[in-house]
Amino acid sequence: MIHYSGYIFDLDGTIYLGDELIPGAKETIAFLQEHNKKILFLTNKTIDSRVKYVDKLNKLGIRVELDNLLNPAQVTIHYLKVQHPDAKVYVIGEDILKQEMLEHGIVFAQSPTETDVVVVSWDRNFHYDHLDFAYQSIKNGAIAIATHPDRTCPMPEGDVPDCGGMIGAIEGTTGQKIEMIMGKPSTLTVQTALSILGLTADECLMVGDRLETDMKMGIDAGMGTGLVLTGITSRAEANASDIEPTYLLDSVYDILKLSVVYDTAE
């Protein structure tokens, strides 16, 4: 697996669980950096800033910079500024996402009648008023987009509901599908990731713990794919799925171990 030029890693369930590194993750990233590989960490979570993710990785002993981190907030802001530059936006999401949008000039709507775009993200304080505002906005002609489709997020104590719950509530009440997903497995995220790395899809390995996002995105884009079994997906689920990754890995540490074997065989 050392023959790829770029490595794109999911975070939760792939590099760490909560505040604990997956065993071997630190050593694997260091090994790839020593071999001058380009690395991008790609998360679908929107409840923390990119700066906080970088700080967390550095504290865990993984040496990264801001340019090594991509999240749906970046993709969503870019999409809004290009496709809906004058839109007034209603955001279902946590304060960190809203603050980042405001800092990039996104204008927030004050009422459903003036809302052009509803942005749906993970909000751990999601409640009826959010749902009603979104419902009334969409009924009045607003479009709805979502930062990511994840139904759950892996945590050390077990997975918890994610953005999929907010999407389900809005689709269930409006009877309409979300028009665009920004995060994995969206092609918008693929395009942004490859642009950051300066590589083509076939030069990259996508590594993550989810079949329906990480693996699907990588396969659809033409990347190599590595499914790790340290997060959401079990071996039984992987074997039963129609989505077939290039590699099935016990953990991210297999990248280092199998690469060392490869080098020795050479």
Q: What's the rounded mean pLDDT across residues 129-135? A: 98
pLDDT of residue 154: 79
Q: What's the rounded mean pLDDT across residues 117-138? A: 97
* Domains of the chain with bracketed CATH: 6-44+184-265 (3.40.50.1000), 72-181 (3.40.50.1000)
Q: Where are the alpha helices (DSSP H) in 21-94?
A: 25-34, 50-59, 72-83
Predicted structure pTM score: 0.80
Taking the C-alpha atoms of residue 43 and residue 48, their distance in angstroms, rounded to an integer, is: 10
Q: What percent of the chain shows pLDDT beyond 90?
A: 83
Direct distance between the N- and C-terminal alpha carbons of the chain, in angstroms, rounded to an integer? 13
Q: Look at residue 9 and give its three-state secondary structure.
A: strand
Q: What's the rounded mean pLDDT across residues 222-230? A: 97
Say if residues 38 and 113 touch (Cβ distance below 8 Å). no
Q: What's the rounded mean pLDDT across residues 233-262? A: 92
Going from the C-alpha of 2 to that of each of 21, 28, 142, 203, 250, the distances in angstroms are 22, 11, 47, 11, 17
Q: pLDDT, tens digit, for every residue of 42-68?
A: 988 888 888 999 999 999 999 999 999
Q: pLDDT, tens digit, for every residue of 80-91?
A: 998 999 999 999
Q: What's the rounded mean pLDDT across residues 139-154? A: 93
Strand partners, 204: 6
pLDDT of residue 263: 47
Say if residues 210 and 10 touch (Cβ distance below 8 Å). yes
Taking the C-alpha atoms of residue 213 and residue 231, their distance in angstroms, rounded to an integer, is: 13
**Long-range contacts for 240-243 (Cβ within 8 Å, ≥24 apart)?**
241/211, 243/211, 243/212, 243/215, 243/216, 243/219
Is 109 a residue whose pLDDT tops 90?
Answer: yes
pLDDT of residue 265: 40
